[in-house]
Amino acid sequence: MPAPLSAAAWSLQMRTAAEDALYPCSDGEPMAENMWQSRAMLTAAGDLEVALPEALVALDILVYPEQGNPRNRIAPDVLAAFGLGTHNRLSYLVWREGKPPDWVLEVASPSTVERGLDVKRRAYAAMGVPEYWQFDPQGLFPPGTPRLQGMALADGRYEPLAARLINGARTIRSRALGLDLRADGELIRFRNPVTGKDVRHHGEAEAAARRLSAERKQATADLDAEYAQIAELEAAIQRMQAGSSDDRA
C-alpha cells in the first residue's frame, strides 16, 4: 500500500484539485473535424513521443496562460514541452508549469482556415511560445503556400524558419525540438539530424516488429532443420561404425 500523505502533501493535493476545477479540461469542441486532421495530429504526437521520450507531448489539451482568467484558453492540436515531466494532466496551466509550451502545432481544417490561423498565431505569441507550426494535410492553404510552415518567436512576433532541400524534400529545422520536419503526403515526417534517419510512424514500427518476429521464427526453424540434419548424419555414422565392428568380429 502507498504511504499515507503528509499534511502538507494532502493540502497541496486539495489546492491543486480545487484549482483544476476552476479551469475546465474540455471546451466542448471535437478533437478534429475530419480524418485528415485527426490522422495528422495523432501521427505527429505519436512520432514525437518516440523521438523525444523525455518531453511532455500532449494532444488537444487546453492551455490556460493567465491565472484567474479561465476564459483565456487555447487548445493546440499538438504541443511539446521540455523539463516538466511526462505525467498526465487535466490541462496545461502555464503558471503551474512555470512556462508555456516550447512547441505547438496546428493542423489546418476547413473551419480553422476560414476563421484564420492568425488568431492562434497571435495568442501563442502573446503567451511566449518559442515555436509555432502549421500543417495543411488537405491542401486548404492558398495556392503556392507551403503545406508545412514553422515559425520562431522573435521580439514578440513569429518569423518563418528557413527551409532547405534534403534529399529533394523541403525540410525545416525545429530549434525547439532539435528535429527536421517535412511534409510527407498527408502527414508530417520527423527526422533526426544527428543520425540522418526518419522517425518511424507507429504503423511502420509495428510492421518492422512483425517482420523481425517472422525473421526470427524462420531463423529458428532453419536452425532446427540444420540440427536435425546433423543428428541424422551422426546416427548414420554410428550405424556405419557399428557395422564395421560387426564385420571385424
User: Mind listing the pLDDT tens digit for each residue in 182-241?
Assistant: 999 999 999 999 999 999 987 655 544 445 444 565 556 566 667 777 777 777 777 777
Residue 123: its pLDDT value, please?
A: 94
12-36 average pLDDT score = 71
Between 221 and 17, the more confident residue is 17
Domain spans in the chain, listed from the N-terminal domain onward: 13-199, 201-249
Question: What does the DSSP assignment read for 177-221?
Answer: TTEEEEEETTEEEEEETTTTEEPPPHHHHHHHHHHHHHHHHHHHH
Residue 3: its pLDDT value, please?
A: 58
Is the separation of the CB atoms in 122 and 146 below 8 Å? no
Between 81 and 6, the more confident residue is 81
What are the angstrom distances between the C-alpha of 182 and each of 112, 174, 192, 223? 21, 11, 12, 43
User: Residue 10 above 60 pLDDT?
Assistant: no
Mean pLDDT value across the chain: 84
Close Cβ partners of 5 (under 8 Å, ≥ 6 residues apart): 13
Q: For domain 13-199, give the CATH number.
A: 3.90.1570
Percent residues over pLDDT 90 in the chain: 59
